[in-house]
């Protein structure tokens, strides 16, 4: 991609139409005058510019675009392609697009584009776990946004940094960043309701991590009030990305930018949908912690509906959460139906999924008084965990078995299972 002067645009368009200087000049001007304009030695009048636009079948606006405007458009395209590749995990391709954009940023001194590239470099560094460099890029990005009152950039930056702090268990820092986001909404600077719902959700998660149940409940309720359903757009987004790259290869920047913008919007929606499904699932878990099981079921069902659209790998986890909730609500029929469904869909190679299913079955059969089936499922779970080397899970199941035998008056067997569990925990360094 390149930035063209007015004369270069006229010449490029003339060549595309396979026209000579004489063809373009017609009866209006001489071929020599057109040549001077194309070489940049003469500036056309507005009348001549309109004549050239009509003759070359292109808009006057295209000819009047400044070099800075063109450079900004090119940067936007490269930045969007960088973000798409960061989302897809193709980090080196993303970095190459950022480098391309930076070449135009430096040459034409594009302030907001520079901030955007700093943000994308920060995202890249976070993905490769170079956190100190990442936050340095984010800080520099925010300085530019602050100096230019570009608040939309702030919210994206704060949200990404906050989520990265949660991922690294730096919870107080994460909470502070999400409160910075909340302040932008409270002051009326940002008005995106879906984004505000995400802010509330992450604040709920942060406060739950540090044991502030009162604040976690408050923000969980606020998040619940904000969310609505989204649609899956992944396939269409991939098609539009391919079209954008095809147009870029052909030198058609305008169409490339249009399709890349559409693709990025769809990928953002798709990522929002996946994130929303995960949020609904985790909101359900938060409501289980608050012992509000009816509300938890509502969130699990929303998560199920979202993940069902694309057969997301987390769907089975949602069904396990639903079945667990049905146990608390004494909805035995719904629980058994869900467990029977999971029996069919959890593949044999999903070891952790099958361990979780056996453990849940053990709890369910215990609740309904079928002690034999309860114990059988604990044994199945323990053997599977032991055979596959999942010592932490095996230790937890042995504790379940110890409690089972204690409740049934078998103190000696209970102590044996408890001792085995402690030995395992010692092996993995938990005691």
Distance, in Å, from the CA atom of 269 to the CA atom of 109, rounded to the nearest integer, reads 31
| Confidence at 229, pLDDT banded by 50, 70, 90 | very low
Q: Which helix (H) or strand (E) covers residue 97, if one does?
A: helix 91-108
> Model pTM greater than 0.75?
no
Q: Which two three-digit tokens encode residue 176? A: 């502070």
Quote the DSSP letter at residue 170. Answer: -
- Average pLDDT estimate for 220-233: 62
Q: Work out the mean pLDDT of the chain and round it to a whole number.
A: 85
Lowest-pLDDT range of 81-90, 166-175, 182-191, 287-296: 182-191
The confidence score (pLDDT) of residue 179 equals 93
Question: Is the confidence at residue 230, as pLDDT, over 80?
Answer: no
Residue pLDDT, tens place only, 48-96 = 888 888 888 888 887 877 888 888 889 989 999 998 999 888 999 999 9
DSSP labels, 250-267: TT-HHHHHHHHHHHHHHH
Please check whether residue 335 is in contact with residue 326, taking contact to mean a CB–CB distance below 8 angstroms: yes
Closest to 136 measured CA to CA, from 122, 153, 126, 152:
122
Q: Which two three-digit tokens encode residue 372? A: 């034999």
| Helix, strand, coil percent values for the chain (each to nearest 5) | 80, 0, 20
- Average pLDDT estimate for 118-144: 89
Residue pLDDT, tens place only, 235-273 = 556 666 776 777 788 787 777 787 777 777 767 766 777
Question: Is the confidence at residue 424, as pLDDT, over 90?
Answer: no
Question: Is the confidence at residue 141, as pLDDT, over 60?
Answer: yes
Question: Is the confidence at residue 37, as pLDDT, over 90?
Answer: no
């Amino acid at each position: 991609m390149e930035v063209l002067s007015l004369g270069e645009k006229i010449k490029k368009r003339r060549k595309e139409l396979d026209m000579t200087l004489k063809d373009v000049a017609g009866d209006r001007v001489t071929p020599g005058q057109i040549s001077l304009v194309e070489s940049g030695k003469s500036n056309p009048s507005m009348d001549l510019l309109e004549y050239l636009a009509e003759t070359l079948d292109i808009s006057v606006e295209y000819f009047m675009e400044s070099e800075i405007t063109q450079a900004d458009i090119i940067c936007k395209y490269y930045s969007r392609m960088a973000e798409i590749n960061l989302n897809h995990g193709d980090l080196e391709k993303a970095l190459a697009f950022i480098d391309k954009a930076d070449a135009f940023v430096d040459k034409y001194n594009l302030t907001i584009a520079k901030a955007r590239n700093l943000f994308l470099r920060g995202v890249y560094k976070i993905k490769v776990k170079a956190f100190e460099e990442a936050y340095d890029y984010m800080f520099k990005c925010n300085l530019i946004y602050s100096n230019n009152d570009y608040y939309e950039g702030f919210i994206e930056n704060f949200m990404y940094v906050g989520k990265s702090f949660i991922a690294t268990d730096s919870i107080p820092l994460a909470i502070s960043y999400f409160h910075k986001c909340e302040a932008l909404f409270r002051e009326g600077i940002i008005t995106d309701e879906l984004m505000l719902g995400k802010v509330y959700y992450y604040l709920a998660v942060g406060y739950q991590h540090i044991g502030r149940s009162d604040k976690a409940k408050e923000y969980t309720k606020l998040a619940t009030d904000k969310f609505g359903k989204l649609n899956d757009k992944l396939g269409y987004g991939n098609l539009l990305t391919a079209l954008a790259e095809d147009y870029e290869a052909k030198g058609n920047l305008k169409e490339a930018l249009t399709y890349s913008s559409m693709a990025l919007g769809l990928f953002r929606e798709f990522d929002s949908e996946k994130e929303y499904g995960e949020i609904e699932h985790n909101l359900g878990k938060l409501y289980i912690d608050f012992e509000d099981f009816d509300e938890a079921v509502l969130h699990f069902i929303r998560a199920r509906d979202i993940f069902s659209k694309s057969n997301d790998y987390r769907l089975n986890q949602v069904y396990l959460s639903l079945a667990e909730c049905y146990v608390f609500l004494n909805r035995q029929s719904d629980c058994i139906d869900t467990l029977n469904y999971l029996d069919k869909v959890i593949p044999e190679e999903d070891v952790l999924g099958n361990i979780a299913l056996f453990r849940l079955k053990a709890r369910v059969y215990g609740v309904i008084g079928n002690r034999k089936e309860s114990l059988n499922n604990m044994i199945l779970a323990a053997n599977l965990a032991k055979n596959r080397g999942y010592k932490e899970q095996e230790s937890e199941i042995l504790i379940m078995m110890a409690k089972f035998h204690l409740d049934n008056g078998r103190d000696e067997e209970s102590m044996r299972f408890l001792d085995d569990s402690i030995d395992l925990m010692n092996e993995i360094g938990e005691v």
